[in-house]
Structure 1
């Protein structure tokens, strides 16, 4: 596959969004939320009955009101089971929802998790603002308590990510063992003026300790692309490995058409997914590049490799065609919209 360098940077850099949408705001938290939780044994479902909120902070100072909605996450050190959210209630500081948010999960797993309930200001044309949250530890929860309880909303646990686990938990998404090499291709004739190029080979070996993002079992696979090219021809993926948190892939992906100088401007993005027929679920990813924040002189959000990721890429640049390898922790990525499908 020939890697196209003729990308329109205005489109690439202008279409960036978080895989888990980034919500921001500096509103002072106040008010409370009324809710009940219940585990329905015969359905194998955990229900959160969101009743209403009272005395929320004003998000729209011009109209002296808010457009609030509620989000729920089940979280642990190794688990993020997605989010559930209510409808948006317009122009009120005392919204009534009377909605049930449901998670399909077995009780044994539920008892290892935290329930995070957060309230947000909806902004159709901008970024949503945080209005407060509550954390409930399911490991010590009395499941005979199915009453509606009032909880005081608290300030945000993380200014960096609305989907991070509570501050006392470590956000672990497992790790990937990956090897890289660059093989220059020699020109056929000394007389030719053709520019010499080469190919990047990415050997995805295995993953360890992947979190069960939907329940007890996952069916992981890996996607790969080389940014700034977000076209379909840049995308490659491994097979799906069934029902394991420690999949062995041993899959090599090859991208050709690179000049050696291009390797300082590009970034290999590798992401791990839990396969689902309707919509696969993101687990975590890597960005292998120099992490300079720029590509061909243009500032881009995706050139954000960690120190370890950048070190592996730098080793490849100096390896003279030999494989370099490392086991790297998976993380949440800010990704191009066109790559999230």
Structure 2
């Protein structure tokens, strides 16, 4: 009995020992955690807030995206940087001593200045440079403008072109614009920015930042396009669209500049150019094209099957002469839209083949209060999509739209297809 009692006494002491070690471990963990928190708090209080400001807008490389940040924003050459006026290093940092009691920085009105490259260059230098590097067919002579011409004048765009043979990159520097018209009648100013597209493929689309309340914007932004062989430069065309930002509605189009690169030699180095901004020239044809639609009404299931088949003879919606069409389908019940669908975008074609089927549930027993609207739009990544043409099918529709609707009501469960002329959007 004595050995059994001794072993039992030893087992009774084990929980006590475990509890003591657990208590010590808990106290040590809490103390260590509190010490780490105090160290982090003290280190944060001693650090200066990171108010470093990096100006990434001057020189944005577009392709490829997998480059590191050094290559991505190094759009200027060393030779060009030497010619620019020296800027103090502190200008890229906020001055912490100028903050007020609340820690805020005093507001200063930004002053738009012209690009340093253009301050040192006279108009004569621009004319001489263009004469040596560009063929006469691609340039317009500088002539004196009468008072009537100055009223219609939309301003001048200054830019430069360059080709980097080592990286096989095409560089476009949008410098500034002079003499833009005021698009805001109240403040008599504009909020300009520029969209640029390389035609004819429209693969490369870029735009500058918006400069507030100025008619003499200085952008000074460089866009670099990789993977464009020098032999293909002659076949390209640059399209600049000058717009004014509007917060509450669609941006106002000031004008455009179209630069065919045929005959322009970039082998000798950077080429400085300027062009007069002209009114936007949207090439509209006499018609808006045609759309082939197939409809089938299922009276038993009360559904309407719509097949968007083809579009042909679509008008030219921009200067490239090609559209990127797609069709948006809206179903209306008593003039209220109850459903919407859309097809995929077909790239660069006036004759698109969609072959896409949509099934709509009809909320009523007949089609008297039902109508379908087809909108053919031109897809544009940089701005709002423009309506190429419109088509409405229903009992109250005129022409082929009303005839097509009458046929599907008289012959349910039959797929009926018809070509329809698109009207103005």
TM-score for the superposition, normalised by structure 1? 0.53
SS across alignment from 2:253? strand
Aligned mates of 2:226, 2:313 — CA distance in 1 = 22
- Over the residues paired in the alignment, what is the CA RMSD in angstroms? 5.3
Aligned to 2:194: 70
Which has more strand, going by share of residues? 1
Aligned to 2:125: none
2:364 matches 1:267: no
Residues 269 and 286 in structure 1, CA contact (< 8 A), matched pair in contact too: yes
Alignment of 1:48-67 (within 5 A): 48-60=172-184, 62-67=186-191
SS across alignment from 1:255? strand
Shift of 1:286: 6.1
Shift of 1:98: 1.1
SS across alignment from 2:368? helix
2:225 matches 1:118: no
Aligned mates of 1:283, 1:131 — CA distance in 2 = 17
Aligned mates of 1:282, 1:56 — CA distance in 2 = 25
Aligned CA distance change for structure 1 residues 290 and 112 (closer, same or farther; 3 Å): farther
Paired residue for 2:358, among 248, 253, 277?
A: 253
Aligned mates of 1:74, 1:128 — CA distance in 2 = 21
Segments of structure 1 that go 5 or more residues without pairing to the other structure are 1-26, 159-163, 187-196, 214-218, 296-304, 334-341
* CA-to-aligned-CA distance 1:222-243 (integer Å, 9 cap, x gap): 7644246666xx345678999x
Shift of 1:55: 2.3
2:95 matches 1:95: no
Paired residue for 2:273, among 130, 134, 149?
A: 149
Aligned mates of 1:31, 1:252 — CA distance in 2 = 48
Aligned CA distance change for structure 1 residues 121 and 157 (closer, same or farther; 3 Å): closer
Paired residue for 1:180, among 286, 291, 295?
A: 295
Residues 329 and 373 in structure 2, CA contact (< 8 A), matched pair in contact too: no
Aligned to 2:208: 86
Aligned to 1:13: none
SS across alignment from 1:91? coil
Which has more helix, going by share of residues? 2
Report the count of equivalent residues: 258
Aligned CA distance change for structure 1 residues 225 and 325 (closer, same or farther; 3 Å): same
Residues 71 and 85 in structure 1, CA contact (< 8 A), matched pair in contact too: yes
Paired residue for 2:308, among 175, 179, 204?
A: 204
Shift of 1:147: 0.8
Aligned mates of 1:221, 1:56 — CA distance in 2 = 34
* CA-to-aligned-CA distance 1:228-283 (integer Å, 9 cap, x gap): 6666xx345678999x99886644322232532123x4424577979x9xx9x979
* CA-to-aligned-CA distance 1:118-150 (integer Å, 9 cap, x gap): 322223234433333211234x35252741201
Aligned mates of 2:330, 2:402 — CA distance in 1 = 19
Segments of structure 2 that go 5 or more residues without pairing to the other structure are 1-150, 319-323
